[in-house]
Chain A
Amino acid sequence: MSKNNGFRQGMQVAFRLGTELTVATFIGAILGYGVDRFFGVRPWGLAVGVILGGAAGSLNVYRAAMLLTEEEQNTENDDNNS
């Protein structure tokens, strides 16, 4: 399995980061909506939930990106060593 294919690697990154952000925002929105339904504080739960979800998504994307840069640096070091 060659991992040096640039196109494939780029696609991997795109798929990974894209879903990360979307799903976290979505979860935040659903949790916010649930808070609205249970405590009857419409529309504040949804508003806060979307923002917190977006923040969580950005955090996840940031972490995934840090992981990817680490991997890249590792492979670069390996290339230099060999």
Chain B
Amino acid sequence: MNWLPSPRDFRQSLRTALAATDPLKRLEALADLAQHQLGFLETIQLDNALKKTATTADAPFVQLRLALLSSCTIDHLLPAIRVAGLRRRLLIEVYAGSFGQYRQELLDPTSALLGFRPDIILFSLTAREAIAGVPLGSTTDEANQTIARASADVQQLWRTARETFKATVIQQSFLDVSEPLFGSYDRLVPGTPTRLIAHLNDLLTDAAAQEHVLWLDIARASARDGLDAWFDAARWLQGKIEIAPQSAARYGDLVARLIAAHRGQSKKCLALDLDNTLWGGVIGDDGIEGIRLGEGSAVGEAHAGLQRYAKQLQDRGVILAVCSKNDLATAEAAFRDHPEMVLRRSDIAAFVANWNDKAENLQAIAKQLNIGLDSLVFVDDNPAERARVRECLPMVAVPELPADAAHYVRCIADAGYFEAVNFTEEDRHRAGQYATNAKREALREGSQSMEDFLHGLDMAVMLGPIGPVDLARAVQLINKTNQFNTTTRRYTAEELSRLATAPENMTFQFRLLDRFGDNGLVSVMLLRPLAGEPEVFDIESWVMSCRVFGRQLEFEAMNIVVEAAQNRGIQALRAHYIPTKKNGVIGSLYESLGFSRLPPPLTADGASRWSLNLAEYHTRPTFIVRREP
């Protein structure tokens, strides 16, 4: 957990936090404390304080219920899970199943688990059970059959969890704590525990990918940290504890980051400092030939290594930015002219090099990319800059880089800022899309007017219902979008699939193309008939990527939806707007689309209700043409 800064004075901070009488202020103070590296005891203390704090459903914190079902002792992991949740503003209520009783609890219609109504069920199982009784002398076929049975058994648990509880399922990889029998040869013998466990993990990852089950890879984490950190034979003997208390904080963070990723809370952009971060030395002093980068020195290789890692992250959809105190021309020249640069100027979606305060510059970067500040990770070797940004912008993640550049990549990777639960077509092309945005920006600047610009873009929309191929991207878009999101309702893949395949509903996905390229699937709308009023449809959710704001897509989308609704004989549309901290940008969306406001309902979320009589709708002309897929 070395990416987190150490707390200044934990006891004093905790006391101060607890002194706050307002529960929200108290939660904020505790959440701030959770942003620090905490020891085993400190984690329990913070958790105790959290337990004593009334949890309100107030907007900046999200409450959810997690059931941990296990065949081992797991109680010691709960404080760390709650604290890691708090670190991400998730108030996780954890239900720990009775030791080894998870099957009964899943199946028993009167179990406490049912009363708990978990949003998420995490299966934390030990391999001992799964491979028990397999003879060492098993043939390959026998071993395969055993493993296939064990896998099917686990998959059956997933199904029950989904059908009975409608819960999101997390499966934890099996930890291999077995001792070598033959030595290295173990992996070549079908019936050895180590081979069976590896095989079972492989089978289950395939199944998890297919069934949209979230995979918690503690086997990989334990390989990273060393098995001794994760498993302590003494604890196993003392209390059937498989995951050592020593690794509880790490485990909790892995769980919380996966849940946060599933909720679309992972970071989106890596903002990098230049001097002594992206290269060794100070380019303003040392000159382009004086900086250390690439082959020839270990330091230069270390910095090139960070660039390579950034490039790999970009390939999976992370946006790159530069935030540096430098002259712009000098900084850009390095990207253009230094032969060892891995990153090119065109890889950087937002490039800010000046002498202003970095906190201000990060705000400018977020604004330019149209993403929230809480989507940023800021990497800087300078402790003073890091402290300054943490102080001014606590929502920006700032890893505590180690002194040695050799370990920069490890530190950023270990922090898991960019944890993902899918990898979509849009992720693959995101970097290119941000690069073409620069061209769009140039067109805008060269245009006489907004109309002129929109006309010059040659926009086309492709649309259709949400089909199986669109599902992963649609789920990602719905769960990641915070700004243009009318209700901020989140959906799992199964929920969305059910909704989209039910014939009574209408779903739409929109792709926007223009002369610079395909923006991809950028908007989704979900409509259901009102109960008892089949000719009135409710817009349950409508989201749009911030990449295409200001292009009239919302108007063309509504033209399309109204047309389709009329063709189905629908008379009217209903809609809600539920305001959040982030979706103020669409506060007057429905009004601008010609909806009229209904009397306010008495709901706590401050929602406004809107209605549109389709007979009165005026089709709004736009610069977007429709194109057949």
Do A and B originate from a single complex? Answer: no
Measured CB to CB, the residues of A under 8 A from B are: none
Measured CB to CB, the residues of B under 8 A from A are: none
